[in-house]
Amino acid sequence: MKTILRYELKIGNSQIIEVPKGSRFLSLKNHETLDIPVFWALVETANEPEDLEILMFASGNNITEDPTSLNYLDTFLYKERYYFHCFVKK
């Protein structure tokens, strides 16, 4: 079944999120009620799971990974003060 699912993220440098293979990223925002970053993906729930490594870098901080190994997802504002830029490691 195809559906759109929400995935909660933690503020931090790197985390692994399990999604169905072939999922398509849609959007990433700070969830105002939960006060956490979340992203939405179009998924096929019958597909096997795969791990995505999500990396976050705050504006002005060093990027510790080779930029050519990253796919940009989105940027979000956290606590009305901090901008985080999110990537998926290829």
pLDDT tens, residue order, the chain (90 aa) = 999 999 999 999 999 999 999 999 999 999 989 999 999 999 999 999 999 999 999 999 999 899 999 999 999 999 999 999 999 999
Residue 9: CB atoms within 10 Å: 19
Per-residue pLDDT at 61: 95
DSSP string covering the chain, please?
A: -EEEEEEE--SSSEEEEEEETT-EEEEEEEETTTTEEEEEEEEETTSPEEEEEEEEEETTS---S-GGGEEEEEEEEETTTEEEEEEEE-
Per-residue pLDDT at 32: 86
Amino acid sitting at position 14: S
Per-residue pLDDT at 21: 98
